[in-house]
Amino acid sequence: MITLKAIYMAAAHDKLIQLVIIAVIIDTIFGVLRAIKERKFNSCFGINGAIRKCGMIISIMLLVIVDYITGFNMIGFLPEQVRQHMGNQIGISGFIALLYNAYETVSILKNMALCGLPVKKLWLYVKTFLGNYTDELPDDDELVTAKIDVKEQSGDMSR
């Protein structure tokens, strides 16, 4: 019987899981930078975000065990465009890691845009691609409204 350590050692080499961890770190950094820029550094939001990110990583860790036990292949649940790049097999943990990576990518781009970085074209590309598969993306109005709020705050500060 394979040990739990061996299962996690094998999962540590899974690129999708590695990408989730990297995306969580990047999103956290840009989220903190955004909060500092907007002067809205709030421990409640930080704790909620940290709990969500810990939950994401813990769920993937637990799903790695489920993958070992069940051996489910989730490739049929992926759109054909994505399947071309995934091979013939993806477990539940990999499938959920794909979803988490898409979620984190949207969050990273949103935080980058709200920090004032020039990522609008990239944001539009990702939004268009993901928009084919979900209607859960944030509105562009949210980014515009946040920029207006930041400008108004900085105008109040200069008086």
DSSP state of 75: G
Query: Which residues fall within 8 angstroms of residue 5, CB to CB, at 6 or more apart?
Result: none
Q: What is the pLDDT of residue 150?
A: 45
Q: pLDDT-derived band of residue 159, with 50, 70 and 90 as boundaries?
A: very low
Dihedral, CA of residue 93, residue 95, residue 101 and residue 103, to nearest 10? -110
- pLDDT of 125 reads 84
At 140, the amino acid letter reads D
User: Could you report the per-residue pLDDT of 91-114, keeping only the tens digit for each?
Assistant: 999 999 999 998 899 889 988 988
Q: CB neighbours of 147 closer than 8 A, spacing ≥ 6?
A: 114
What pLDDT shows up at residue 26? 96
Summarised one tens digit per residue, pLDDT across range 11-28 is 888 899 999 999 999 999
Cα–Cα dist 53/27, whole Å = 10
Is residue 41 a contact partner of residue 35, using CB atoms and an 8 Å limit?
Answer: yes
Q: Which of 41-45, 96-100, 127-131 has the lowest mean pLDDT?
A: 41-45
